Amino acid sequence: MTFGDNYLKHLEVLENIGMTSIKPINFNGTEIVPLQFLKSILPDPGSLGSRTKGKTCIGTIITGTKNNIEKTFYTYNICDHEKCFEEVGSQAISYTTGVPAMIGTMLMLEKRWLQPGVWNMEQFNPDPFMKLLNQYGLPTKTIELNNRITF
């Protein structure tokens, strides 16, 4: 997940002044946890859905070799905040968090993503997951990128 420079700058300022700390401090004779105080004065995220506009874009760049040919693809999903709110009463951030978690859980319960030991979801066959993303409201698109992208 990426965040814009403006968001990150705000977070950095809050961290620099101690507002993200979970260490209790004394404020006017009362012990408070700065992060809990901050949470109490910010809007409830659940109240933001009705006024959130715009879209999310979640994607990944994948480079691999098949038949000795290296290729790079970008697979992504775009989700509209207003459409999500109409459908489920939340913004797209909640939707794009919950749907993949539900799909992963379903694949585990169906034993399609279940092996002994500890595994990351990226180690399982992605095909059923990608198919279900499309079925459950997060359709993906894949495009081939002509030039390899390096970071």
The domain of 19 spans 5-42
- 23 and 90 co-located in one domain: no
Q: What is the rounded CA–CA span in Å between residue 40 and residue 2?
A: 25
- 57 and 92 co-located in one domain: yes
Confidence (pLDDT) at 47? 86
| Residue range 105-113: mean pLDDT, rounded | 95
- 127 and 54 co-located in one domain: yes
Work out how many domains the chain is built from and give that number. 2
pLDDT, tens digit, 9 for 90 and up, residues 117-138: 999 888 999 999 999 999 999 9
- 93 and 125 co-located in one domain: yes
- Token pair in block for residue 91: 């913004």
151 in a domain, yes or no? no
Ranking 45-54, 73-82, 94-103, 121-130 by mean pLDDT, the lowest is: 45-54
Assess whether pLDDT exceeds 90 at residue 35.
Answer: yes
**CA torsion angle for 96, 98, 99, 102 (degrees, to 10)?**
160
**Is the Cβ–Cβ distance between 88 and 52 less than 8 Å?**
no
90 DSSP 8-state letter: S
- 38 and 54 co-located in one domain: no
**Is the Cβ–Cβ distance between 66 and 31 less than 8 Å?**
no
- 58 and 20 co-located in one domain: no
